[in-house]
Amino acid sequence: MKVLGIASSPRRGGNTDLLLGEVMKGAASRGAEVKTIILNDLKIAPCQHCDGCLETGRCKVEDEMQMVYRELEDADRIVLASPVHFMGVTAQTKAMIDRCQALWVRKYVLKLPPLGNRRERKGLFISVGGRKIANLFESALATVKTLFRILDITYAGELLFPGIDEKGAIAKHPDALRQAFLAGQKLVED
């Protein structure tokens, strides 16, 4: 079983990175092969809405998103970690998601499996946000759930922590890192 972690925060070693690291450790403890990609380190142009993918289901923009497509196709489980920025996912996350337009085309226009085959995939979302308000994660959840639905990835749940803002503050949460480790184990056991 291959687990792909997608670190989407521009801040390295921050709260979502710490949580993602624990999820990946949990998955590895159950024998999964784990790999994490860091979106901020990749050169991913925004979608140009050029419709170049309409005939082939392949994005015409040649950059490091091509590697992300391959990693998504290879993965059995996907863990997307993004803090909340302006009530949504980070710009890095959104750029990657928007570039999945080519995969939307594969599914809805070309009637092909968006990730190249029909094997079962599951996805987990990890997020933190500095505020403590009722709808803090609403927009981010809608975006991530839509991405997973389009890619035929079963939504396996989320780890959401409001009121976490300072770098490393998640380590002071009484059981967040433990929850993340257990979520990683559960994700590969299902």
Confidence at residue 47, expressed as pLDDT on a 0 to 100 scale: 96
**Rounded to an integer, what distance in angstroms lies between the CA atom of residue 156 and that of residue 185?**
12
Question: What are the residue boundaries of the structural domains of the chain, listed by start?
Answer: 2-189
Q: What is the DSSP string of the chain?
A: -EEEEEE--SSTTSHHHHHHHHHHHHHHTTT-EEEEEEGGGS--PPP----TTTTTS--S--STHHHHHHHHHH-SEEEEE---BTTB--HHHHHHHHTTHHHHHHHHTS-S-TTSS---EEEEEEEEESS--TTTTHHHHHHHHHHHHHTTEEEEEEEEEET--STTGGGGSSSHHHHHHHHHHHHHH-
Sign for the pseudo-dihedral over CA of 33, 178, 119, 148: negative
How much is the pLDDT for 174?
87
In the prediction, which pLDDT does 100 show? 98
The parts of the chain modelled with pLDDT lower than 70 are: 190
Asked if 75 and 2 touch (Cβ cutoff 8 Å), the reply is: yes
| CATH value of 2-189 in 3.90.1170.50, 3.40.50.620, 1.10.10.10, 3.40.50.360 | 3.40.50.360
